[in-house]
Amino acid sequence: MKRLMKTTFIALLTALMLVGGSSMGYAQKQAKKQQKSLVTQDMAYKIAQRIMYDRRSTFYRAMFNNANDIRTIQESDKILSELGNHLDYAENFIISFFDYYGTGDTGYIAFKSFYLTPDEYKIAESIFNNIQAKKKQKAVALEQSVYNEYVNKGFPSNIKNES
């Protein structure tokens, strides 16, 4: 009887270690929640095709890599080949693109070289405008917090009066 309990205990302990150990043994990256993007699959495809297959588009590849913090051409090719699954990368490229060209005629003509339609251009422009509005809102919030700090705590004592 004593031997049976000992064997059962060891078997149970081994089973717990196998099940528990395998689930705790590996640290995994938290999966990022994919945000809902305004970029369409068609837009992503057109952007990827222009960057990957037009020999004159090394500037756009550099812009894409810089906007998405990509370090190697291999990584860039992998992401571009499945850009429809990485719409956030396309958004980052669009924002960088408009930062460089602006949203006027120059930006429109440059986007036409990607074979984007006028409706797709409007989508891209709205993405850029939304990001700009968020940046402005953050800047206003920062200014307000600095102002509130000065109102509540007074002028910092380490600033010298130059009068």
pLDDT at position 116 is 92
Domain assignment present for 135? yes
Domain assignment present for 15? no
Domain assignment present for 139? yes
Domain assignment present for 22? no
pTM (two decimals)? 0.67
* Distance separating alpha carbons of residues 94 and 64, to the nearest angstrom: 9
Q: How many domains does the chain have?
A: 1
Domain assignment present for 68? yes
* Distance separating alpha carbons of residues 24 and 136, to the nearest angstrom: 43
Do 76 and 70 contact (CB within 8 A), yes or no? yes
pLDDT at position 12 is 55
Domain assignment present for 82? yes
Tokens of 79: 């992401």
Tokens of 66: 């810089």
Domain that holds residue 130: 41-151
Do 96 and 66 contact (CB within 8 A), yes or no? yes
Look at residues 115, 6, 128 and name the one whose alpha carbon lies nearest to residue 67: 128
Domain assignment present for 114? yes
Nearest 5°: the CA angle 115, 124, 128 is 145
* Mean pLDDT in consecutive groups of 10 residues from the start of the chain, 163 residues: 66 55 43 68 94 87 95 94 94 94 92 92 93 87 80 66 53
Look at residues 131, 146, 51, 47 and name the one whose alpha carbon lies nearest to residue 95: 131
Domain assignment present for 10? no
Q: How many helices (H) and strands (E) does the chain have?
A: 7, 0
Radius of gyration of the chain (CA): 27
* Distance separating alpha carbons of residues 110 and 142, to the nearest angstrom: 34
